Every structure is written in C-alpha cells, then in structure tokens.
Structure 1
Amino acid sequence: MNNSNRTVISRRSRPAKEPLSKDLIVKTALELLKNEGSSGLSMRKIAKALDTGPSSLYVYVTNLQELSAYVLDYGLDKVVLPDAQDGSWKTNLFDALNSYLTVLYESPGIAELALTTIPVGSHSLALMEYILGRLHEGGIRSTSAAWGVDLLLLYATSVAFEQASRDQKGTTLNTILTSYESLDVMRYPMIANLRDELLSSGERFRWGLEVILQGILQRQD
C-alpha cells in the first residue's frame, strides 16, 4: 500500500563529509586528546569521530605511534621562537622554552605525548634547531649541545606535564600546604623550615633552566 505522506530523505541532502586525509585525522586526534586526555587517542575513537572504520586510517598513518608523533608536532605549531637577532642568546633560549612550556600546559595531553613520543615533525625539529642555535651562540657545542637540548626539553616537558596533571585532577598547592602544616616538626625539620620556599613559584621555572644551563656550561665536551 502506498503511503503518499511518507517523507523520503535523500542522501544527497546530507552535509558532505570532509574528505579523509592525514591532516583531518591529526586534527581530530588532537581534539580528542584535548577533550579526553590520552585515552582519547585511539584509532577506534578517531575513526568513530570521523564516521569511518579504523582500517581506513591506516591508509594515511602506519600505526598509533606514528599518528602520535604527527599530533605532537601539530600541537607544537603555536610555540613562539623569538627572532634570534633580537635580545641575548640566553634570553631568547629561555623565552622559547617558556613558550614551549605554555603550549604544553594549555593543551592537555600534549605534554604526555612529548614525554612518550619521539619528536620528528617540522615544528619539533624547528624547536630543536632553534635551541641548538642559541646554545651554539653561547659557546656550547658538540656533545654538550646535543645532550643539553635533550635535558632542557625534558625539564620543560616534565614541568608542563606535572602542572597539567594537577589541574586535571583538581590537585592544588593548598592540598600540599595542608599536608606540610600537619608535619611532625621534630621528624621533618628541614621541610617544616623551608615550607614556604618549597611551595613558592615565581621564577622557579627559569631558575631551573638557569641551573641546567650553568651545568652545561661547566661541562663542555
């Protein structure tokens, strides 16, 4: 029996999907990473978000590890590298690392990727090249520069990951302060005496960079 009142929805009336591509996969993966953390970075979830099957993603990326490297690099495109012609080499070095720290902190999940993924993309390489260039200006070369850039990036990444993790879990310094205030002063005299300093922030990040840099300068190989 014919139903003349039935509405027929044509597939042609649906919004056209953006053609699948590596860029689209990476952008989608980054959004999932921001919204769900590391658990969102799975081929199954990415495929679902793109309304496709996981197998179709492997046309563009070899595996999840390769995709993670692309996502990390895409997330680092906001890192600001100061003009090397302006300011001192050390100021530019610290400003670049501070920008890197900020980008990782403001993009939940990226810091964790930076700790677990080998950086191979253009933005990652540009950052490394920039840091090596500033170390070279400061007279740091060869092995000291190669190992130094790794140490500086690891420090910045660890700080960003720690801060981002605390924010995601709702852990504040007040929690730590409360713990310190209830300490047995006789058993932990040093912690009790330096309680305020242990919890202070201020220029702590740059102080750490300075300590690392001075160590590199003292151990030229």
Structure 2
Amino acid sequence: MDNTNRIIISRRTRPAKDALSREIIVKTAFELLAAEGLSGMSMRKIAKHLDTGASSLYVYVKNIQELYSYVVDYGLRDVILPEGRPNSWKSELVSLLNSYLNVLYTSPGVAELALTTIPIGPYSLAINEYILARLQAGGAQAKSSAWGADMLLLYVTSVAFEQSSREQKGMTLQSIRDSYQSLDAVKYPMLVRLNEEMFSGDEERFQWGLEVILQGILHNPK
C-alpha cells in the first residue's frame, strides 16, 4: 500500500510543557485543594494535571506530607505583616492574626491542613518571626514567646477551620443553638442557663480569645 501521501504529525509540534519545578507542583496542588478539597490533592491527581508521572514529583518533594507543608506556606502568601512601629506591638500582632484568620477562612482546605501540618517556606517563617518579635517587644520571656506563638497560631487556625468547615457543610450556629434550647434543664442546668452567652459574640468572641491568650503569655513567665 502506498503511504507516500500520509501526513506525519510530529510530537514536536505540540506546545512545550512548562519545566517541572517545586513551585509549579505546589501551585498546582494548592489549586486542586481549592477546587476539590484535600482528597483532590493527591500525587496522582497532581501528576495527571501536570501531564507527567507521579514518580517525577518526588524529585522535588520527598512525600505528600512535605508537599502539604509547602502548600500551607503557599496559602499564607497573602497574610499582611504590618509595619513595625514603636509602642504598637499589640495592635500590630492582633492585626497580623486577623489577616492570618481571613486568609485561612478564604482559602478552602488550607486551614484544615494547617491544623496538622507545620508549614515550610518563607511566608510561614516571616509570620513566626513577626509574632516572636512582637511578643518580645511586649515583654514576654523567651520560652513564653516561643510557646505563645504556637498557641496563638493554633487558636486562630482552629477558629478559621471551624467557621469554614461549618459553612461548607451548611451548618449554622442558629441550628446548633436551637438544639441546645431543647435540653433538659434538670440534667444540664449550666448549658440551659448560659445558652445565650455560649452562642454570643463572633468577632468580639475571637478578639476576646486573643486577649486571653496574650495575657496568659505575658503574665505567666517561663
């Protein structure tokens, strides 16, 4: 059979793929996390999205846990670090933590990852450095600053995760509050008596929590 007129399509005519790198892998993983949740951020799915094999990813990240750490750090890139000013360590620290809360709240999946993952990268390092410096400026001792920074980030992360996951599941505080209103006052007297207070606040409640932790850090020297 004469195939002299057959048109041969060379693979070289296909658009060239971007060179694989850790940055591209992390960005792709972050986008899959936002679109599909934690289950969508598997090595296999990331590799498929990048049109490569999963084994190729391990040249740039050791394992999925290390990738999680890089993804959390990437998710923190928009956290705002206020400019340092004399005698304003507390307001700057609170401003940073509010920015941290907002970034986690608006980045699906990142808050969940942050609860179980220690981030690796420049953004998380800058945040920790900033918190430690402000706590030291406020008079906290070395160990109190180190432990306190961890407590502050854990508190804010848990609040962000609770709020974002509740919304994703379609749960409201009102529905939970309604269930408490039907409790037996004899069996659960305190829950019934303090029902209003337990579900009050929001922004005020969050700020109160920050204040409680800060006061504990400053007044329990270690």
- TM-score normalised by structure 1 residue count: 0.92
Equivalent residue number for residue 121 of structure 2:
121
Q: CA deviation at 1:86?
A: 6.9
Deviation, structure 1 residue 159: 0.8
Match of residue 55 from structure 2:
55
Distance of 1:202 and 1:117 partners within structure 2: 26
Structure 1 stretches of 4+ with a deviation exceeding 4 A read 1-10
Structure 1 residue aligned with 2:173: 173
Q: Higher mean Cα deviation, 59-68 or 4-13?
A: 4-13
Distance 2:113 2:192 in 1: 36
Stretch moving more, 174-183 or 153-162: 174-183
Do 2:43 and 2:64's aligned partners in 1 also have CA atoms closer than 8 Å? yes
1:107 aligns with 2:87: no
1:72 counterpart residue number? 72
Q: Which residue of 2 aligns with 1:95?
A: 95
Distance in 2 (alpha carbons) for counterparts of 1:86 and 1:191: 44
CA–CA separation in structure 1 for the residues paired with 2:7 and 2:175: 60
Quote how far apart the aligned CAs of 1:2 are: 6.6
Q: Secondary structure at the match of 1:77?
A: coil
Report the counterpart of residue 158 of structure 1 in structure 2: 158
Aligned twin of 2:134: 134
From the superposition, tell whether residues 10 and 207 of structure 1 become closer, same or farther in structure 2 (CA, over 3 Å). same
Equivalents in 1 of 2:65, 2:130: separation in Å? 25
List runs of 5+ in structure 2 lacking aligned partners. none
Question: Aligned residue for 1:41?
Answer: 41
2:206 is the alignment partner of 1:219: no
Greater mean deviation of Cα atoms: 161-170 or 91-100:
161-170
Question: What residue is the counterpart of 2:210 in the other structure?
Answer: 209
User: Residues of 2 paired with 1:86 and 1:157: CA distance?
Assistant: 28
3-state DSSP class of the match of 1:148?
A: helix
> Structure 1 50/214 Cα, relative in aligned 2: closer, same or farther at 3 Å?
same
Aligned residues: 221
Structure 1: stretches of 5+ with no match in the other structure: none
CA distance in 2, matches of 1:196, 1:51: 54
Q: Are 1:149 and 2:140 an aligned pair?
A: no
Contact 2:25 2:46 (8 Å CA) reproduced: yes
The aligned residue for residue 85 of structure 2 is 85
Q: Report the Cα distance in structure 1 between the residues aligned to 2:173 and 2:13, rounded to whole angstroms.
A: 54
CA-based RMSD of the aligned residues comes to 2.1
1: CA distance, partners of 2:35 / 2:67: 17
After TM superposition, the score normalised by the length of structure 2 is: 0.91
Name whichever of 16-25 and 152-161 sits farther off.
Answer: 16-25
Indicate how the Cα distance of structure 1 residues 69 and 148 shifts in structure 2: closer, same or farther if over 3 A, else same.
same
Residue deviations 1:174-205 (CA, integer Å, cap 9, x gap): 22022012222232222222222211213111
Question: Cα–Cα, structure 1 residues 140 and 166, in superposed 2: closer, same or farther, change >3 Å?
Answer: same
CA contact (8 A) 2:68 2:119 kept: no
Percent identity between the two aligned chains = 64
Deviation at 1:87, TM superposition (A): 6.9
SS at 1:80 equivalent: coil
Distance 1:76 1:205 in 2: 20
